[in-house]
Amino acid sequence: MKNVIEMKKSYFLLLAFSFLFGITVQGQSTLTLHTEQAKTKINKEIYGHFAEHLGHCIYGGIYVGVDSDIPNIRGFREDVVGALQDMKIPLLRWPGGCFADTYHWKDGIGPQHKRPSIVNVHWGGVTEDNSFGTHEFLDFCELIHAEPYINLNVGSGTVQEASEWVEYVTSSNESPMTKLRKENGRDKPWDVKYWGIGNENWGCGGNMTPEYYADLYNRFATYCRGNLYRIAGGPSVDDYNWMRVIMQKTSLHPYLVQGVSLHNYTFTTSWTDKGSATDFDEGGWFSVLQNTLKMKTLIERHSSIMDQYDPNKRVGLIVDEWGDWFNVEPGTNPGFLYQQNTLRDALVAGINLNMFNNHADRVKMANIAQMVNVLQSVILTKEKEMVLTPTYYVFKMYSVHQDATMIPVNLNCDDYEYNGQSVPAVSASASVKDGVVSITLCNLNPEKAESIDLTLTGQEFASASGQVITSPNMNDYNDFGQNEKVALKAFDVKKPKNGKLSVELPSKSVVLVQLK
């Protein structure tokens, strides 16, 4: 009884101090990892990327040509190739995007000097010489060890054009298309599994109704033959009717569809108020992270619709365009969508990847937009120089999750509050691969460290190590000709004891903890 009285005295004394000095009494954040329940594979394709003919993503960012004085391998930037190999890029989507539905693939094969040019009507109205086409893209994918994902032209193309592209790339039979491929220097077919049938057909891909597109999809998919992973053009953000119609109509021919796409971008406030990529205060920080977290609702609501027609989760949810979209950098071409990349973008990447990991039973692929020089890119280039962005380092850190087994987690954490609104202060996901448990954690709070107690059920571990991405200022970014401000650094982690481990996450940070 005496001990109870003393405990009550201590509690009320703590409350008194809290009242007098403005200290808030908060519960300790906890993360429980159910290692014994790990069974769902996190597809490596969740860590995919997107490269569209947009601005300097392809030309100047990836491809400079064999005659360039920028060091290159068969025309591909040597520094970019090395960086992507080191990041362990698993998959690359091409040629778009909106560009895909104006792209006619036969214009991009054969001798480069004989290829007709094309006006990029979607992005800046620039004229391109088609020197980067099918062979160059697939050569580049082989060079960086990435799976290729090709988006077919449905908006302005034909079924014949699409089926012949598939045949040209994948067939080993004797046919006019395989003969043409061999004439252009490639004897053996490429192993291209992933094919998108149209892009944003509710918008730039044709302004179609979901009913019309679904019927058109079934027609195109029927004639794109082979052991393919066909991806239907799915909804924009929260267009749940589009998802329902696509699932209804394609479920009549289930062998024709293996995935349905979802596109969702994060803005500061809205499409018309995207905000600056670098010039923002805590309000800009908070609103972007708050909007990023809406991805969880989108995944869960679209998945629930898919479950009605596909309860066995045979069809994958393919988030093949996601990331931050801000105003272009001052003085740059508005049609090129060039933006810098700060620590805030690193948090956005980490939070999204955690959400994809935790929904790996349905999310089978995701492609951040875009890989080089466009939107939330992992690499920036300027003539001979290259910059690795904070987002690059998140993908490098999170590569440990590729093809690992997802560990279900229960997270209880404090809220990060700003201006009367709040979001969870911590985001987390975990996986196991080759006996190593990897836990990725994001502290969304830019002002306060977050202590979190980890509990691991079903297994004991002998050692722990860690990495961290953070910086003194939320606006910090890496720029040309300067030392990096945001990069991967070692992070001290104590050895777990009796299945428990305490970690203090620095403010505005992304952290990896690995246990063996």
> Tell me, what amino acid is at 78?
E
From the CB of residue 188, how many other CB atoms can be counted at a distance below 10 Å?
9
Q: Evaluate whether 474 touches 282 at the Cβ level (below 8 Å).
A: yes
The CA distance from 100 to 196, in Å, is: 10
Both 70 and 30 in one domain: the answer is: no
pLDDT of residue 497: 87
Domain-ending residue, one of 354, 371, 401 = 401
In a domain, 19, yes or no: no
Same domain, 384 and 504: no
Q: Is residue 442 part of a domain?
A: yes
Determine the Cα–Cα distance for residues 391 and 345; give it in Å rounded to an integer.
Answer: 6
Phi and psi dihedrals of 215, rounded to 5?
-65, -40
Residues spanned by the domain of 457: 25-39+407-515
> Hey, is 28 helix, strand or coil?
coil
Q: In terms of domains, do 429 and 511 share one? A: yes
**Pair 199, 267 in one domain:** yes
* From 136, 200, 282, 300, active-site residue: 200
Closest CA to 431 of 401, 469, 396, 456: 401
- For every residue of 483-499, DSSP letters joined together read --SS--EE---PPPBTT
Active-site residue flag, 164 = no
Judge if 225 and 116 occupy the same domain.
yes
Residue 25 pLDDT: 38
- Report yes or no on 189 lying in a domain: yes
Q: Decide if 349 is inside a domain.
A: yes
Give the other-Cβ count within 10 Å of 185's Cβ: 10
Q: Are residues 365 and 511 in the same domain?
A: no
Residue 1 domain-assigned?
no
Q: Please check whether residue 16 lies inside any domain of the structure.
A: no
Terminal Cα distance for the chain, rounded: 44
Has 321 been annotated as catalytic? yes
Instruction: Output the domain CATH number for residue 268.
Output: 3.20.20.80
pLDDT at 462: 83
467 and 357 belong to one structural domain: no
Domain boundary, last residue among 401, 422, 439: 401
435 and 376, same domain (yes or no)? no
Can you give the pLDDT at residue 119? 94
Residue whose entry in the numeric block shows the structure tokens 């200290």: 23
pLDDT in the model for residue 27: 56
154 in the same domain as 127: yes
The three-point CA angle 378-376-317 to 5° equals 100
Active-site choice (45, 147, 321, 450):
321
Q: What is the distance between the alpha carbons of residues 335 and 36, in angstroms, rounded to a whole number?
A: 50
Do both 32 and 49 map to the same domain?
A: no
Let me know whether 317 and 412 are in one domain: no
Beta bridge partners of 429: 440
Q: How many domains does the chain have?
A: 2
Q: Cα(373)–Cα(513) distance, rounded to whole angstroms?
A: 30
Q: What is the per-residue pLDDT for 460? A: 78
Query: What whole-number distance in Å separates Cα of residue 169 and Cα of residue 151?
Result: 13
CB neighbour list of residue 397: distance below 8 Å, 6 or more residues apart: 440, 467, 469, 488, 510, 512
d(CA 499, CA 400): 21
DSSP state of 336: G
The CATH code of the domain that includes 460 is: 2.60.40.1180
Phi and psi (nearest 5°) for 478?
A: -95, 135
- What digits encode the pLDDT tens for the residues 119-170? 999 999 999 999 999 999 999 999 999 999 999 999 999 999 999 999 999 9
Out of 356, 380, 401, a domain closes at 401
Cα 179 → chain centroid: 37
Helix (H, G, I), strand (E, B) or coil at 247: helix
The pLDDT value recorded for residue 28 is 78
Same domain, yes or no, for 413 and 386? no
pLDDT value at residue 303: 98
Give 356-414 pLDDT, tens digit per residue: 999 999 999 999 999 999 999 999 999 999 999 999 999 999 999 999 999 999 999 99
Answer yes or no: is 7 within a domain: no
Write the DSSP string, 160-194. Answer: HHHHHHHHHHH--S-SHHHHHHHHTT--SPP---E
In this prediction, residue 269 carries a pLDDT of 84
CB of 144 closer than 8 Å to CB of 84: yes
| % of the chain beyond a pLDDT of 90 | 90
Which residues of the chain are under the pLDDT cut of 50?
A: 1-26
Tokens found for residue 368: 């951040």
Q: How far, in Å, CA of 358 to CA of 288, rounded? A: 21
Residue 151 covered by a domain: yes
